[in-house]
A and B are shown apart, each in its own frame.
Chain A
């Protein structure tokens, strides 16, 4: 790759360290919005009955705000472990999308680097660093930018978690009784941010109704059924929209065919919904709680612009 013709980015005397720092610096707006969520996470972890070590360990191991928050809630409710793990998995599935987009650009990296790349993948980092990753620069150099962004988010989340645990320790006893609500509120805020358009509304309302109907099932199994059912309803809405409200055909020669696999996914849906997950998750937790679902995308765009400035482009 060293024989590549100079690009604007390559002209810069970029050291790996410089790239790392640039990536970290680009994340500043995200650090600020993630920090309070990390604090909340630390407090709620203790309130859910976990020890300090478990709260901190869970936050650091999952590196996903959404997964962390939901884990706390389900652990507090005494949900069965397969349900907790499966729920975590579902919430992380949007990472498949990011990861498949990253894959072709980092293929020449050593296995160990890709392990780290995967671990550090959170919504905000993806939105900020993807522009760089898909560029022409040598894979090792551009991935340093990614690592800088992801490392600073991780450290930020760790500090915030500790601060939250200290704060939780100081919390008056009588407040702890209603402490499941703050967590529920986190999910509601993230959900509200994701509710854009009738299809997502229909899907979410169906999931909520299904969850109510399946409350009697053991091990919180209803949760999984309701989520899968709600997503299926969303898919059905997509079909309905394609069939009855086809978008203005781009090329009249090809009338919309609902079964056409090549048909593009509505990007707003994927992006908005994905963002939702992430806010809590957000933490490096990337995920969700960090911001409104729609927001990370927009913020990401802005951040990407900032990154472009860093490039001198």
Chain B
């Protein structure tokens, strides 16, 4: 039940920004500063999510173990590959290959 509410809440959160301007703003344009700020938010949020997942994957602690090394190495490899390669699936697959390869090699799996 609470999951249902959560999903509906998320639905509302994604729907509101799409619909409210169609309902209210009408002819008004967003101020330039607001647009710029909105442009910076998604990359900032992605970084805020991804960086701790790579640097502190276990219990939010920064440590170097056979469990955390694959996160660190594969995370860096994925990001760097992504800077040079355009295709989403290729970059993603490379990242996963490095991650699971290292896990297997280090015996953490």
Partners in one complex: yes
**A266 neighbours in B (Cβ, 8 Å):** 36
Q: How large is the interface on A (under 10, 10 to 19, 20 to 34, 35 or more residues)?
A: 35 or more
* Nearest-Cβ distance from residue B96 to partner chain A, whole angstroms: 6
Interface size (B, Cβ < 8 Å)?
Answer: 77
Taking CB atoms, residues of chain B closer than 8 Å to A262 are 32
Give A204's nearest chain B residue, CB to CB.
B47
Total number of A-B contacts with CB less than 8 angstroms?
315
Cross-chain contact A265 with B70 (CB below 8 angstroms): no
Q: Mark A88-112 against chain B: 1 for CB-CB distance below 8 A, else 0.
A: 1111111111111011101100000
A178 touches B99 (CB 8 A): yes
* A88-B10, A103-B27, A204-B43 given; 11 more Cβ-contact pairs under 8 Å: A50-B3, A114-B19, A192-B81, A195-B83, A204-B47, A211-B51, A211-B52, A215-B52, A230-B40, A272-B39, A279-B88
Name the interface residues of B34-76: CB closer than 8 Å to any CB of A: 35-57, 60, 62, 70-71, 74-75
Q: Is A33 an interface residue (CB 8 A)?
A: yes
CB of A249 to closest CB in B, whole Å: 17
Chain B residues contacting A291 (CB-CB under 8 Å) are: 88
CB distance from B53 to the nearest CB of A (A): 4
**Chain A residue with the shortest CB-CB distance to B81:** A192
B107 in the interface, Cβ–Cβ < 8 Å?
no
* Interface check A186, CB cutoff 8 A: yes
A113 to chain B, nearest CB (A): 10
| Any B CB within 8 A of the CB of A161 | no
Spell out B's residues near A (CB within 8 Å): 2-23, 25-33, 35-57, 60, 62, 70-71, 74-75, 78-83, 86, 88-89, 91-92, 95-96, 99-100, 103, 109
Contact B27 A85 (CB under 8 A): no
* CB neighbors of B among A29-70 (8 A): 33, 36-37, 40, 50, 54, 57-58, 61-64, 66-67, 70
The interface residues of chain A, by DSSP majority, are classed as: helix
A92, B40: Cβ atoms under 8 Å?
Answer: no
* Chain A residues closer than 8 Å to B12, beta-carbon distance: 85
Residues of A within 8 A of B95 (CB): 181, 185, 188-189
CB-defined A-B contacts under 8 Å, sample of 26: A50-B3, A58-B7, A81-B2, A86-B13, A89-B14, A93-B17, A96-B38, A97-B30, A97-B38, A99-B21, A104-B27, A119-B15, A181-B57, A181-B71, A184-B53, A185-B78, A188-B50, A211-B49, A216-B60, A229-B44, A230-B48, A234-B37, A261-B31, A269-B36, A289-B88, A290-B88
Chain A residues lying within 8 Å of B23, measured Cβ to Cβ, are 114
Roughly how many angstroms separate A228 CA and B92 CA in the complex, as a whole number?
27
How many angstroms from the CA of A264 to the CA of B41 in the assembled complex?
A: 18
A residues within 8 A CB of B54? 184, 188
The chain B residue with its CB closest to the CB of A273 is B39
